[in-house]
Amino acid sequence: MFDSHAHLNDEQFESDLAEVIVRAKEWGVERIINVGFDIPSSQKAVELAEIYPQMYAVIGIHPHEAKLWDESADETLRTLATHKKVVAIGETGLDYYYDHSPREQQQTIFRQHFLLAQKLNLPLVIHSRDATADTLAIVREFTDVSCLLHCFSGSVETAKQYLEMGDYLSFAGPITFKNASRLQEVVRAVPLDRILIETDCPYLAPVPKRGKRNEPANVRYVAEKLAELRDVNLDTLLAATRENTIRFFKF
């Protein structure tokens, strides 16, 4: 199993990171991709990737933090991005649910991430919440960049538009939640060769760990639910998502 989107670079893992890593190994999580959400967490993701052979890094500034973007941030990301274990740029995108940064600024910074990905020939990891139309519009400006819609929460119709552009979708804990029938419909509609699995830990712990701090070992609950929803055996699902992760991040 791969956890294609984790935040072991989050301070919530500071005190017991070693145990979290052991549990991930015990449960067969072979690779963990830690995703940056600001400059310090992007640096931390790279540090972790240097220490642990099974870890890789994605670097960028979350739309919540778009207001933190400046020339020095841009410069730091450019330098970090040349590290051999940096496999994508992100997470970036648009979040109109929380609106922690002004929307126009989020859009500008989203495009900056695209330009960086384009320049370095890296894929892009996207966070989109309550911003479907604007996210799609910006993604369409950069069709040469391969995108992963992380923790996808859109409709079947939206999913199809990304799939037509060759993009990938990843699913996390919310597919296991009680009121997820709409999302589960999406899970069934996406071709098996475009799906990745993730935890987005420490957030979004899947059932039966819902409400607790999430961690990479729990990615198996996401995988099990996906296999059940798609009516394939777990091994088939794991082989497919593993291959997709390798293809998307060009491991």
The residue ranges that bind Ni ion (CB under 5 A) are: 200
The span from the CA of 37 to the CA of 168, in Å, is 20
What token pair was written down for 243?
A: 């291959």
CB of 201 to Ni ion, least distance (A): 9
- Ranges assigned E (strand) in the chain: 2-6, 31-35, 55-59, 86-95, 124-129, 147-149, 168-171, 195-197
Residue 167 vs 198, nearer CB to Ni ion:
198
The span from the CA of 198 to the CA of 17, in Å, is 18
CB of 175 to Ni ion, least distance (A): 16
Residue 8 vs 227, nearer CB to Ni ion:
8
CB of 91 to Ni ion, least distance (A): 5
Inter-residue contact 84 to 121 (CB < 8 Å)? no
Residue 91 vs 167, nearer CB to Ni ion:
91
- Among all chains, which residue has been given the structure tokens 């059940």? 228
CB of 5 to Ni ion, least distance (A): 6
CB of 28 to Ni ion, least distance (A): 22
Q: Where are the alpha helices (DSSP H) in 27-144?
A: 39-51, 71-80, 103-120, 132-141
Taken in order 179, 95, 211, 21, the sign of the CA dihedral is: positive
- Among all chains, which residue has been given the structure tokens 């330009």? 115
Residue 114 vs 227, nearer CB to Ni ion:
114
CB of 195 to Ni ion, least distance (A): 17
Residue 3 vs 200, nearer CB to Ni ion:
200
Q: Whose CB is nearest to Ni ion? A: 200
Residue 224: half-sphere exposure toward Cβ, Cα within 13 Å: 10
Residue 200 vs 215, nearer CB to Ni ion:
200
